[in-house]
Amino acid sequence: MSKIIKGIKIRLYPNKHQQAQLWQMFGNDRFVWNQMLAMARSRYQNNPSSHFVNGYQMDALLKALKQEYPFLRESDSTSLQVVNHNLDQAFKMLFKHQGGYPRFKSRRSYHQSYTGKSKLFVAAKRYLKLPKLGYIKTSKTSQLQNVKIKRYTVSHDPTGRYYLSLQVEAEVNQLPRTEKTVGLDVGIADLVISSDGIKYGTFNAKWLEKQATKWQSRYSKRCHRANVAVRQWNHNHKTVKLELDDYQNWQRARVMKARYQQRIANQRKDYLQKLTTNLVRQYDVIVIEDLKTKNLQKNHHLAKSITNASWYQFRTMLEYKCQWYGKRLMVVSPNNTSRICSTCGHNDGPKALEIREWTCPQCGTHHDRDINAAVNILKRGLKLIG
């Protein structure tokens, strides 16, 4: 048994008063971020040789900021400290040339959130007690038994729903040893092909994708019509001005589009979770290839299929599950894995993507292209292990 850090996400059902409190907290975090970022910018403009104000110094400025703006006291104090820490990290990444300059946050963004480090309490089966909010209804609390909550994030997404994401410390039991090894080749028609000859299909949600495309089209058309109407109204009426958010027909299309897209993402994630858990249970050593997904997505004919397959998410899940359950994951180079004969080692040269089977001219072995690649991946991994 070992301790791990994992994430748990549950849905919140705040009442009207709590929703108003949440939006105040979202605004307070955004306000502190923008104030600290503006201070850093003006400080540098006035004196480029001045020292950078780090996270601890930003925390010291919070007391004066709360006296000047009393509404900041309505937030969980730890959430404002997390804002300062995140801004400090953003500047450190900038100084290391690993990220761009931090941007100001907008209240018009459809995704709002705040993160705190205070203690949460499970009040009942479907109720939690959150700082400043009191007792709030949730979807479930059974996952929060025997765990230590390290950090929490309350968010509001484009679908109009509220969620609570928790970073918890929990204990997991090691899975039993099977003494089996496997090489995995990822593809588009089939997501995973194992060296054992088993093929696991790619996630498919054609009906949901069709609905998401339909509502995306409606959203774009309604947004265009609303923009035209807003410009015409504001041009003819100088006293009463309209905004794009005043057109509810456009807002409904935006929410429907976001909900279908979220359903696709949730079902894809659920499929990958079950697949990776099944693989980790079956094998002690798993060998995969080190694919550069961003480079492969530059091929516009395959970019959508590669994105839908979620190779990167599949690899990430395998990595942390192997670490949790005491299994071993090896990553090898993908060079020539589909060209080399897994029987005799002959390199038959490059082949077009539509060629899925081939026969080795040297030993005469007939290969399924994907299974042959998976066997070569396994051999490379075992060679590294020795």
* Bridge pairing between strands 112-116 and 2-13: unpaired
For 142-167, give one letter per residue: b (16+ CB within 10 A) or e. Answer: eebeeeebebbbbbbeebeebbbebb
Which of 379, 380, 381, 378 minimizes the C-alpha distance to 185? 378
384 to each of 7, 218, 342, how far by Cα in Å?
32, 53, 17
> 130 and 84 in contact (C-beta within 8 Å)?
no
Among the options 29, 76, 88, 289, which is catalytic?
289
Among the options 29, 76, 88, 370, which is catalytic?
370
CA distance 36 to 54: 10
Count the Cβ atoms, other than its own, within 10 Å of residue 99: 13
Token duo for residue 292: 């550069």
Tell me, yes or no, if 270 is annotated catalytic: no
CA distance 215 to 49: 52
Among the options 179, 185, 209, 354, which is catalytic?
185
Which residues are 7's β-sheet partners? Answer: 167
Rg of the chain over Cα atoms, rounded to whole angstroms, equals: 26
CA distance 379 to 386: 10
Tell me, yes or no, if 289 is annotated catalytic: yes
Tell me, yes or no, if 185 is annotated catalytic: yes
Token duo for residue 156: 């509001």
Token duo for residue 369: 């292209």
The residues carrying an active-site annotation are 185, 289, 370
